Structure 1
Amino acid sequence: MPHFLRGSITLAGPAVSVVIAAYNAMPYLTRCVTSVAEQSIGRDAVEIIAVDDGSTDGTGEELDRLAREYPELLRVFHQENSGGPSAPRNKGLDHARGTFVFFLDADDYLAPEALERMVAMAEENGTDIVLGKMVGVGGRGAPTSMFRRNQPRTDVFSSRVYWTLNPMKLFRRELLERLELRFPTDLKIGEDQLFVGPAYIHANGISVLADYDCLFWVEREDSGNITLRTGGSEPRLRFLPRVVDLLLEQVPPGPGRDHLAHRHLTVEVQQLLDHLVREPRTEQEKGLARLAEVIDPLWHEGLNDRLSAMARLRLHLVRHTMLDELLELVRFQGELAGSGIATPVLVDQGRAYARYPYLRDPSRGIPDSCYDVTRQLGVRHRVTRAELRGTVLHLAGHGYLHRVATDDVSTELVLRERDSGTEHRLPVTPTMTPGLGAEEDKGRYRYEKAGFTASVDITTAGGGSPLPDGLWDISLAIGAQGVSREVRIGGRRDAEVSGAAATHLVGDGDGTRAVTLYTTTPHGNFTLDIGERKHRVPAQLSLRSPRWAPGAATELEFTGRCTVASFPDGALAVHLEDGRGGTAVFPARPASHSGGDFVVRVPVTELPAGLWRGQLRLGPWATDLPPVPANLAPAGWRRRGLPWYAKPVREREAGFALRVARTDLVRAVKRRLMP
């Protein structure tokens, strides 16, 4: 858990001012305030400013009671009801003294370490805004797309933070005061977008804290949350034009503006239409005309690549004020959401089109591009076998395009070298997959010919030649009925298919090469490492210092571990040289407990006289032998009746050195006779 240091704060006052706007918030209010009072950051680092916005249910009285319980922590203000959260939030902000401000709705509550972690992230990364992970409670949906991973420092244009525009975030107060930001008081909803949006755009860095549940976003049992009880299209048509003007004024045209516009052209437009369909016809016509006018400055053809087919169709109907068609589309979406079955597609000339209402209806003239889901087709795949045997990679599994029947299958295996982009497409053998698809879409779509097997010989996979050294990512180009989508494979695999790196030493005619089949982090997709780009063979060899073998006083024993998955018989051995042309080779054999452990025994009685040095070799790879321990006693034996010995040699350079020689009897006698 990070630790917050008060010494890191440069401004006077508490670290965080928590502003709570409260209106008829009982009984949720007590938990809300208590969750702030019990924050791990400590009460000396927090102040709570609660504003009772004319409550009638005892909220004001409970705030006063809590203020007596936490007199140095909680300040309470009472005011006439303002009709929305803007005025009480503004009042709280006006009285805030903290380096940071956190806006907390009275229905919601914080996790114990939320403020400590968010403040620490802001200070460590010098960011102006921190998004703490939100969790829905009581059925309330919380935003998720921006919380898939921690982001220490990002911005509004290169992340998904703009998809959450509520103010329940940590703001550096200096940013808010520099921009003179306050919540507009003339809006019932959308006021948060006009506050948070400019803060995002002008922030000096934004942090996302995704590995800790910071804020619990509660849906009240009486559905009394302001955004849940404010219905109708009119309130939304009041704030949306101002948001559009904000983007036009503060963000220049280009990818950045398009990124932010995407959010409003999808989320806000759909929500507004959901309300519009429940209104009288005259209001629908007027509202639709106004909506078309509002979105016109944001929309252009280049946005289509960012949008789903449904969003493209919806915007086309809005821009052309096709009210009846929009009403039918909203009805269709409602039925689709409750059906559990994805919309069928029409496949034509290598493209897939969703069968949404009015597809190729000549009386409407809606372009096919509004229905094109080719790039959105779900790709389903699974690997059931992935292993190297010799020079051949064996793969098996299945792959299909969601909603596209497996007719005229054209699936291929794709090997692509990561750095150069060189690719080789190899055929697969189709296999039958009876029943595949029965558990999806209520069994409406079946994929009986989605299976594949492939055998890839690395000595010929490069267009008849060996694959060059490199990292070869493995993909599947899944094709049927002329439609094709490519996907990396391995992330979805059977439990018995290992993703652990396995290095094999194989011969390809030009010698021995290392080939490693492994899965990437974090996605778990298969890649072939040819030529030790990431998986070095010497790093997979380890050897312990030698000793005399138990029960064999003249056999020097090396024990070690080799994690290379396969190599030619006899390739792993200790090689000794005496410096005068003499050599000796002693092969390794598996240790009794195996698992990659091995043992090599060197019978020194077989070595001619000389100073022997050596290496552990595995084919063309080698690693020096460890030195003989200084406390290892010499070994002695008799050869043809004469005494011989083997003993370690102490030399300046580290390494294995063993002297084998015949004992000089004259010297031995002299040493014994010397006093």
Structure 2
Amino acid sequence: MAGPVVSVVIAAYNAMPYLTRCITSVAEQSIGQDAVEILAVDDGSTDGTGEELDRLAEEYPTLLRVFHQENSGGPSAPRNKGLDHARGTFVFFLDADDYLAPEALERMVAMAESNGTDIVLGKMVGVGGRGAPTSMFRRDQPRTDVFSSRVYWTLNPMKLFRRELLERLELRFPTDLKIGEDQLFVGPAYLHADGISVLADYDCLYWVEREDSGNITLRTGGSEPRLRFLPRMVDLLLEQVPSGPGRDHLAHRHLTVEVQQLLAHLAQEPRAEQEKGLARLAEIIAPLWHEGLDDRLSAMARLRLHLVRHTMLDELLELLRFESELAGSGVATPVLVDGGRAYARYPYLRDPSRGIPDTCYDVTRQLGVRHHIGRAELRGTVLHLAGHGYLHRVATEDVSTELVLRERESGTEYRLLVTHTATPGLGEDEDEGHYVYDKAGFEAAVDLTTAGHGAPLADGLWDLFLAIGAQGVSREVRIGSKRDRGVCGSPATHIVGSGDALRAVTLYATKPHGNLTLDIGERKHEVLPQLNVATVRWAPGAPTELELAGRCTLAAVPDGALVARLEDGRGGSAAFPARRASESGGDFVVRVPVTELPAGLWEGRVRLGPWTVPLPSIPLDLAPAKWRRRGLPWYAKPAMKNSEAGLAFTLRVARTDLVRAVARRLNS
């Protein structure tokens, strides 16, 4: 008999009343009970957890297996016991406090099987105030790894693992650690997995903060447990990941998340323990840190690590106090602008007695860029833009903002001057009004015929940026994602120019980010699908005028540029302009007075500069038009002619043959 698809391993210690919901959430999974087994291990509970597990085992006799053991002091031993008895293709570790969404296992298994991956991260949602990791769940990632994603920033074991991977690596949770044991299990699994999937479009796991704060990570305090597992993670990276960008990517997590958490605990301890712990921490991180890592770190992280590496305990404690106050203040730290760089005014900036380098305070690349577009529209060949842009915490003095047009494929760019405008009151709703940006506005009128250093912009996709500058500091940002409701992001194709030298220009907002782009030359937005002629008939009230009715969804067309052009195949031609059928909408009509056409077999197209659209065939049952020219009878009627696309628009114009007409009448 085939084994289950998923083995759900639950380590339970004093987990009431959360345990019941946890087990029930697995039993009710959409994947079905035949595909699941639950291995619940009671780790010496004293609150009735063991008894509740036995009751649930009677309720789900074919689903739930219960194991009882003496308290081991942590989740490692019970998880290992469950894993030892697991029979599923996959294993999912679930804490007894937490619970699954109804389709979680089915969706994660499908993700693993369809992509051939060994690990699947299902989106986690915090409950009861518990913070859940988010950076790796921005979007679905069918197949990734630890080096090209943010999956390493969640090292808890609440994931779907292919059991073959765990058994091949002989992975088990270390039982000598009270905290961090999950990192030493998940870390190697990540590094050796044949692909990792991220399921972000469905909330899979509800991560619960217990009302009694009984979650083990919340009740395991002190720096000592963290100083025990961190060096083992450092050794893991040094032994299994070659030096270079890949190792630096993983080290980033430990040098920020773990160091910050450890220092928070260290700050609560006696002075002697602080000194001892800080010296140990400096020793632990030394093999991972190098100057090249600074480019990956925030200024606060660089400063924190500098103080750790130089065991500057008093300065570190002051920084921790500063960080705590900053977190609750609602006002961002002021900056010092000097020489085109911005430095956060964190403790000891340019304090000669400490000698901390400016690089530890440099936030130039971290400055928040605020922008908003109030106007973006094409009028003829001119793109009109207006809005505001500023650098967070940098006063709008010596403003030097420019508009940047950059072609996406070639990288060609043009920087254009803007007109700076006043923005009184801007910034009052941020940082308690501490910073003012009253000269952040801009206006620009970009003539597409001269924007390329006096020449027309070439065909391509031209992305719009602002190079926002003030006080010698400049940062670049794509614009459009923040805009007034009246600034439409839907594609609007304009035909600009004159005569045959017409060009298609489409202003649109990209998806999903909503940034503004100019499509010049139909790279993404073609003209012809926005033109069509639907019907051909004799105009009401004008029996000798052929009416061509169509639709044009282009945003703008030069006057007189859209015409119906007829040709007789012998060098004769005639053109008739289109006009709007109504003041609103994209309907148009063309009137063709057939009395003005010489005798011949006329074929036609609707023409807009270089673009042409075939006219539909004239219904063969359309009655002929009749008139007199110089006293003689003439007619125009549909004729039949095949083309590659089927029947083509063909109109025969001729003088009536009187002899044949009389003969037909006599014979009728």
Question: Is TM more than 0.5 here?
Answer: yes
Which piece of structure 1 moves more, 516-525 or 254-263? 516-525
Q: Distance between the aligned counterparts of 1:26 and 1:593, measured in 2? A: 71
Equivalent position to 1:518, from 501, 508, 511? 508
TM-score by length of 2: 0.97
Deviation sequence 1:597-654 (CA, Å, 0-9, x none): 2122223333222111111111232121122234444444454554433332222322
Structure 1, gaps ≥5 residues long: 1-10
Query: Residue 554 of structure 1 contacts residue 605 of structure 1 at CA under 8 Å; is this kept in 2?
Result: yes
Equivalent position to 2:426, from 411, 430, 436? 436
State the shift of 1:69 in Å.
1.1
Equivalent position to 1:330, from 287, 298, 320? 320
Equivalent residue runs for 1:18-29 within 5 Å: 18-29=8-19
Identity of matched residues, %:
84
Q: Distance between the aligned counterparts of 2:523 and 2:544, measured in 1? A: 41
1:354 corresponding residue in structure 2? 344
State the shift of 1:553 in Å.
4.0
> Are 1:482 and 2:472 matched, yes or no?
yes
Q: Distance between the aligned counterparts of 2:499 and 2:301, measured in 1? A: 56
2:659 corresponding residue in structure 1? 666
Q: Structure 1 pair 498/185, CA: closer, same or farther in 2 (3 Å)?
A: same
> Are 1:297 and 2:287 matched, yes or no?
yes
Which piece of structure 1 moves more, 596-605 or 640-649? 640-649
1:64 corresponding residue in structure 2? 54
1:13 corresponding residue in structure 2? 3
State the shift of 1:504 in Å.
1.9
Which piece of structure 1 moves more, 505-514 or 311-320? 505-514
Equivalent residue runs for 1:141-152 within 5 Å: 141-152=131-142
> Are 1:137 and 2:130 matched, yes or no?
no
Query: Residue 391 of structure 1 contacts residue 508 of structure 1 at CA under 8 Å; is this kept in 2?
Result: no
1:369 corresponding residue in structure 2? 359
Deviation sequence 1:171-220 (CA, Å, 0-9, x none): 11111111111111111110110011111111111111111111110000
2:257 corresponding residue in structure 1? 267
> Are 1:242 and 2:235 matched, yes or no?
no
Q: Distance between the aligned counterparts of 2:147 and 2:90, measured in 1? A: 23
Deviation sequence 1:38-73 (CA, Å, 0-9, x none): 111111111111111111111111111111111111
State the shift of 1:674 in Å.
5.4
Q: Structure 1 pair 44/553, CA: closer, same or farther in 2 (3 Å)?
A: farther
Q: Distance between the aligned counterparts of 2:280 and 2:620, measured in 1? A: 91
Equivalent position to 2:74, from 61, 66, 84? 84
2:389 corresponding residue in structure 1? 399
Q: Distance between the aligned counterparts of 1:540 and 1:85, measured in 2? A: 63
Amino acid at match of 1:390: G
Q: Distance between the aligned counterparts of 2:537 and 2:210, measured in 1? A: 74
Equivalent position to 1:427, from 410, 417, 426? 417
> Are 1:573 and 2:563 matched, yes or no?
yes
2:642 match: secondary structure? coil
TM-score by length of 1: 0.96
1:500 match: secondary structure? coil
Query: Residue 609 of structure 1 contacts residue 660 of structure 1 at CA under 8 Å; is this kept in 2?
Result: yes
Equivalent position to 2:405, from 401, 404, 415? 415
1:4 corresponding residue in structure 2? none
Query: Residue 535 of structure 2 contacts residue 550 of structure 2 at CA under 8 Å; is this kept in 1?
Result: no
Query: Residue 346 of structure 1 contacts residue 354 of structure 1 at CA under 8 Å; is this kept in 2?
Result: yes
1:588 match: secondary structure? strand
Query: Residue 501 of structure 2 contacts residue 609 of structure 2 at CA under 8 Å; is this kept in 1?
Result: no
Q: Distance between the aligned counterparts of 2:146 and 2:632, measured in 1? A: 86
1:404 match: secondary structure? coil
Q: Distance between the aligned counterparts of 1:231 and 1:332, measured in 2? A: 22
1:8 corresponding residue in structure 2? none
Query: Residue 466 of structure 1 contacts residue 508 of structure 1 at CA under 8 Å; is this kept in 2?
Result: no
State the shift of 1:669 in Å.
4.4
2:595 corresponding residue in structure 1? 605
Equivalent residue runs for 1:156-305 within 5 Å: 156-305=146-295
Structure 2, gaps ≥5 residues long: none
Amino acid at match of 1:494: D
Q: Distance between the aligned counterparts of 1:93 and 1:593, measured in 2? A: 73
> Are 1:583 and 2:576 matched, yes or no?
no
> Are 1:652 and 2:642 matched, yes or no?
yes
1:56 match: secondary structure? coil
Q: Distance between the aligned counterparts of 2:54 and 2:82, measured in 1? A: 16
> Are 1:389 and 2:379 matched, yes or no?
yes
1:201 match: secondary structure? helix
Backbone CA RMSD of aligned residues: 1.7
Q: Structure 1 pair 567/58, CA: closer, same or farther in 2 (3 Å)?
A: same
1:122 match: secondary structure? helix
Equivalent position to 1:546, from 536, 541, 550? 536
Q: Distance between the aligned counterparts of 2:98 and 2:389, measured in 1? A: 44
Q: Structure 1 pair 651/265, CA: closer, same or farther in 2 (3 Å)?
A: same
Q: Distance between the aligned counterparts of 1:386 and 1:553, measured in 2? A: 46
Q: Distance between the aligned counterparts of 1:43 and 1:554, measured in 2? A: 77
